[in-house]
Every structure is written in C-alpha cells, then in structure tokens.
Homo-oligomer: A and B are copies of this chain.
Amino acid sequence: MNIPAPYMLMLGDNKDPLAIKTARGIHYWRPEKCVGQMRLNEDVPSLGLPDMNIDTAIAHGAKTFVLGTANAGGVLAESWIPLIVSAIEKGMHVASGLHQRLTDVPAIVDAAEDAGVELFDLRHSTQKLDVGSGVKRSGKRLLTIGTDCSVGKMFTTLALEDAMKKRALSASFCATGQTGILIEGSGIAIDAVVSDFIAGAVESISPDCAPDHWQLIEGQGSLLNPAFSGVTMGLLHGAQPDVLVLCHEVNRDHIRHMPHVPMPKMEDIMSLALRLGTLTNPNPRFVGVAINTSSLNEEDAINYLKEVGDAFNLPATDPVRFGVENIVDHLVTVFEDNA
C-alpha cells in the first residue's frame, strides 16, 4: 500500500475520544500530512486541525480522504456512503481502517472506477505476497517486541525514528498495523495477512537497504499472548532484527481481554525473543526497555524505570513521559563498539 498524502481526516459522528485514536495518531506523528478534519457533528472531539468540507480540503491539496475512526463492529455507516462517494467524485482517494471493506460497497467501487482513484482497505491485504525466505538482508533492523498487545510498540518505534532522525541517523519506520500504515503512508497490516505469508510480508516491507540505514519495525502482539503469538513469531523471524526494544505496561496484571492469563515477565519475553531471533539473525540484542508508566505518579515512575534499567542493565524509559534519547544513546554506543 502506498497512500498519497496529504490527508483529510474524517472524524465521524462519535463523541468518544477513543473513537478518533487512529486520526489522533496520524496527526500527532505526521502533522504535515494532515490538511484538515471533518466532524459530522459538534460533539466530536477536535484534533485542533481546521474543520473543512471536501471542496475546501481539496483546495488545500488533500489527496486522500481518511476514515480515521473506530466504531462498534467496524461497520461503515450507511449515512457516510454519500459523503465518501462525493470525496471520490471530487478526486480523492479513500483509506479506511474499518473491518467492512470499501470495496464491498458497490456505490463506492463504481465511483472510484469512474474517478480513477484508489481505495485502501487497511485491514485487508490485497498485495500478492511470497512466503518468507529467511535470507539475511543488508542494512540494520530494529523491532519492538511487547509483553502484550497495546503496550506502546507503535509509539515507541515512531519515537525512536524521530529521535534518530534528529541526530541525523538514517532511519525509517516500517508499519505493520493500520494506524502505522496511515502514519507512514505504506506498510502491511500483518494480522490481516494469510498465515502462510506472515514472515514473507515482513520481509517485503523491510527489504535490503544501505548498510548504515536503520529500518524500525513496528511490533505486534506478544510471543506469550495465546491469541496472537503466531503473528509475533512470524514478525520476529521475518524482521530478522539486529536490535530489539522491549515494550511493557506497568501494573497490567493479565493479558489484555484474558483475565485467566497472567502477564508474561519481561525477562521471559526477552530470553524467548533472543533465542528465537537467532534463527534469522546471528546476534540479536536488546538495547532498551520502553514502559507505559501512566498508572504511576512521576516519582514512582522514575524509581520504577531505574529499577528495571538496573535489573536488565539497559536504558529504561517511558517514551511518552521521558522520550527515548537514552535508548538511542545506547544503540549508538553498541553499534560503534561492534561496527
């Protein structure tokens, strides 16, 4: 997928701030890609972007109409279809992270054909994929790996990209989930790929690159999440990471949505990831620990991160609170020493 920017962000009609999480992520990480927002009523939270209609957005250069909302069941509201068709007729591509496909709505498909624009169903891979090869690729790769889902892997990866670029390191973000794909404009939603092709899909989004370039690959799931471990395993082997960053959330006491499954220990995930990672990389290493400490006050968070850092002899941080400079410092040192 390659989604043309800039975007017009459609925020829907829901007043729940969580419903616009995807749009918020795009705006936070790539404000330059967002020309405006469209809210269907006044209760919908604002991202602080100018409110625009389709004509204004196009006049400001918007190329893709992004359905940046999550709603119950992932269904496309009937009432949005005329709006989407209108955006298409006026020349915009459309990207959607909903479960229901744009390409399953005949009015949308017909309009897109007539207008010659593209429809991006982010949850549904249409790309022709190969199975993984396991062949070592040139360049350097970092993968974020979590103790569970939703512990900050995407945020950490993007924060690392940002910090590395600010130091003039050569780095790029490789998206593996729908929000990441909208942020970057490209990538593959790994959890939507047919299981034979998980590793192959990851290989295709992180191909050979310059020896000093870092591909920063967004992790998914957890090796010890009973529902999604297969995705994480294929991602680890396909990514063949030189470097890993562990992501965790403090005070989460069980796997998300599974009260019967205790949270994995950080050290268990680390040792498993290193052991499994050697299949496709001769020397994978952890260079840092990124922890969501939002349940702690700042003093407790600082103390906790110090404990974790000491325990693993690695820089530990909460990327949201304290940034990821300490991880980048360490990464640079490790690779200077081992160049």
Contacts and interface: CB of A to CB of B under 8 A. Distances in A.
A311 interface: no
Interface stretch (A157-165, A188-196, A287-295, A299-307): A188-196
A131 interface: yes
Copies in the complex: 2
Interface stretch (A18-26, A52-60, A253-261, A320-328): A253-261
Interface in A262-283: 272, 275-276, 279-280
A150 B209 CA distance: 33
Given A193-B195, A198-B230, A200-B227, 4 more contacts: A223-B233, A227-B237, A230-B234, A261-B279
Given A233-B233, A272-B275, A275-B272, A226 B134 contact: yes
Best-surrounded residue of A226, A258, A279 (most CB of chain B within 10 A): A226
A231 interface: yes
A199 B229 CA distance: 8
Contacts of A279: 224, 226, 229, 261
A313 interface: no
A105 to B, nearest CB: 20
Contacts of A234: 195, 229-231, 233
A60 to B, nearest CB: 36
A276 B227 CA distance: 13
B195 A191 contact: yes
A256 B142 CA distance: 27
A228 interface: yes
28 contacts: A132-B226, A132-B227, A133-B226, A133-B227, A134-B226, A134-B255, A134-B258, A134-B260, A134-B261, A135-B260, A192-B194, A194-B194, A194-B195, A195-B234, A196-B231, A198-B230, A199-B230, A200-B227, A223-B233, A224-B279, A229-B233, A229-B234, A229-B237, A230-B230, A230-B234, A230-B235, A232-B233, A272-B275
Interface string A191-226: 111111011100000000000000000000001101
Nearest to A196: B191
Interface of A: 131-135, 190-196, 198-200, 223-224, 226-235, 237-238, 255, 258, 260-261, 272, 275-276, 279-280
Contact of A226 (B199, B228, B229): B199
Given A233-B233, A272-B275, A275-B272, A131 B195 contact: no
A190 B195 contact: yes
A317 to B, nearest CB: 28
A112 B131 CA distance: 33
Contact of A237 (B133, B193, B199, B230): B230
B231 A230 contact: yes
B199 A131 contact: no
A228 B190 contact: no
Contacts of A224: 276, 279
B194 A191 contact: yes
Contacts of A192: 194-196
A116 to B, nearest CB: 26
Contacts of A227: 131-134, 196, 199-200, 237
